[in-house]
């Protein structure tokens, strides 16, 4: 059934966002802050955000960059196995989650975790569980590119079993194996990007090679996308929207060694609306996927914002301040008509 010509999304949240720093932060932060009520901000700067001072300073830079937009940056720390309870207690009020990267697995993740020894991780993860700080995880091994995420699922399960009080968010999942893991452990949750609901490896490398669709984790097989669609469109209570919108300057994408990341933040809500409608999913499921479920899982109350979309073709710009978005110069079905604060 088609959606009404005008629809309202309330308090949209992007539960996985890269805002970068410096010039790039200033170029792109407003794009997210305008149409979202808040976002989980990834800490993989150079150097990573790993102290209380880092977090407060980065948050201040973000707030400065977004100006008067009504938007909460939910801050994260870059997980280090050495974090102890005292440190975590001292930083608890400043952060919403902690992000764990396996070492060297994606952009600026060199200082991440190598090996996943439960006893080594126990002090930090047990304290996080007790303090109610969720652990967001980029779940990939360093195996073959199409297998990396599925190979990581046993690590998710090991952590979920060892730390039952810890909420573990499987970030930007791309495989049917990760989807299946969701229902095996009460404390496993997931974010899904909009691009992984749309593309497969075919779109990246099946025709021409398309660098602007290249990301980590790489888009997988059609049956993986089907599994993701099923839980996203069905508003699975443990599945949240997280764009993983990851801007790189055009030259870093269109060159000999293209950086990983798809830039979707400014078009995510329009695209998701089109996608949910196209698949015949109830509008209320979209509302859950882009806000309510995340509020439940994280226990957060975002600032009030209503995004009014109308059915009107929108030609995606070629660039947003030097960053090429997904669907650049193509039409999508919905346009943001108005954004109402409060």
Residue 330 CB, shortest distance to its own copies, in Å, is 12
Site string for its own copies, 129-148 (x = CB under 8 A): ---------------xxx--
Query: Is 241 in contact with 15 (CB distance < 8 Å)?
Result: yes
244 in catalytic set: yes
57 binds its own copies (CB under 8 A): no
Residue whose CB is less far from its own copies, 54 or 177: 177
> Of residues 63, 131, 155, 205, which one binds its own copies by CB under 8 A?
205
Q: Rounded distance, CA 210 to CA 203, Å?
A: 7
Q: Rounded distance, CA 127 to CA 86, Å?
A: 9
Of 14, 54, 244, 333, catalytic? 244
258 binds its own copies (CB under 8 A): yes
Query: Is 91 in contact with 133 (CB distance < 8 Å)?
Result: no
Residue 201 CB, shortest distance to its own copies, in Å, is 6
Cis amide bond preceding 9, omega within 30: no
Question: What residues from 146 to 175 belong to the interface with its own copies (CB under 8 A)?
Answer: 146
Q: Rounded distance, CA 162 to CA 128, Å?
A: 13
Provide the token pair at 278. 């196209």
Residue 250 CB, shortest distance to its own copies, in Å, is 9
218 binds its own copies (CB under 8 A): yes
> Of residues 2, 208, 313, 342, which one binds its own copies by CB under 8 A?
208
Picking from 41, 31, 36, the residue whose alpha carbon sits closest to that of residue 70 is: 36
272 binds its own copies (CB under 8 A): no
Name the segment binding its own copies (CB under 8 A); options: 56-64, 184-192, 256-264, 282-290.
Answer: 256-264
Name the segment binding its own copies (CB under 8 A); options: 1-9, 25-33, 77-85, 196-204.
Answer: 196-204
SS3 196: helix
Residue whose CB is less far from its own copies, 80 or 250: 250
> Of residues 114, 255, 296, 301, which one binds its own copies by CB under 8 A?
255
Residue whose CB is less far from its own copies, 4 or 257: 257
Neighbours of 69 (CB within 10 A): 19
Q: What's the Cα-to-Cα distance from 284 to each of 233, 279, 340, rounded to whole Å?
A: 10, 14, 19
Instruction: Count interface residues toward its own copies (CB under 8 A).
Output: 27
202 binds its own copies (CB under 8 A): yes
Residue whose CB is less far from its own copies, 127 or 229: 229
Q: Give the H or E element holding residue 137.
A: strand 135-137
Query: Is 19 in contact with 73 (CB distance < 8 Å)?
Result: yes
Find all residues with CB under 8 Å of 302, minimum gap 6, and list them: 11, 13, 37, 38, 72, 291, 295
DSSP output for 14-41: EEEE---SHHHHHHHHHHHHHH-SEEEE
317 binds its own copies (CB under 8 A): no
210 binds its own copies (CB under 8 A): yes
Residue 149 CB, shortest distance to its own copies, in Å, is 13
* Site residues, its own copies (CB under 8 A): 144-146, 200-202, 204-212, 214, 218, 221-222, 254-260, 324
Which residues does the annotation mark as catalytic? 244
């Amino acid at each position: 059934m088609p959606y009404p010509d005008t629809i309202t999304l309330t308090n949209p949240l992007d539960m996985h966002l890269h805002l970068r720093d410096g010039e790039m932060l200033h170029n792109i932060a407003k794009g997210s802050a305008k149409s979202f009520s808040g976002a989980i901000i990834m800490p993989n700067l150079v150097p990573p955000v790993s102290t209380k001072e880092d977090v407060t300073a980065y948050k201040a830079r973000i707030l400065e960059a977004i100006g008067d937009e009504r938007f909460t940056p939910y801050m994260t720390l870059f997980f280090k196995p050495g974090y102890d309870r005292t440190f975590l207690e001292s930083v608890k009020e400043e952060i919403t989650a902690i992000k764990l990267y396996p070492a060297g697995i994606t952009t600026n993740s060199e200082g991440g975790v190598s090996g996943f020894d439960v006893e080594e991780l126990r002090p930090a993860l047990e304290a996080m569980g007790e303090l109610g700080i969720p652990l967001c995880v980029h779940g990939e091994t360093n195996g073959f590119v199409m297998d990396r995420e599925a190979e990581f699922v046993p690590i998710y399960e090991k952590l979920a079993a060892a730390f039952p009080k810890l909420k573990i968010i499987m970030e930007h999942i791309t495989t049917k194996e990760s989807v299946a893991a969701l229902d095996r452990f009460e404390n496993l949750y997931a974010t899904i990007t909009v691009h992984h609901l749309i593309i497969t490896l075919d779109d990246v490398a099946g025709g021409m090679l398309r660098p602007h669709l290249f990301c980590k984790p790489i888009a997988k097989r059609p049956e993986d996308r089907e599994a993701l669609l099923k839980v996203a469109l069905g508003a699975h209570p443990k599945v949240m929207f997280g764009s993983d919108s990851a801007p790189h300057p055009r030259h870093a994408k269109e060159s000999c060694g293209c950086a990983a990341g798809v830039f979707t933040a400014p078009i995510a809500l329009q695209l998701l609306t089109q996608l949910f409608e196209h698949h015949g999913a109830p509008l209320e499921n979209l509302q859950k996927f882009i806000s309510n479920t995340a509020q439940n899982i994280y226990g957060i109350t975002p600032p009030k914002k209503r995004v009014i979309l109308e059915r009107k073709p929108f030609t995606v710009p070629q660039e947003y301040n030097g960053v090429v978005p997904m669907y650049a110069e193509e039409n999508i079905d919905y346009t943001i008509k108005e954004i109402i604060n409060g």
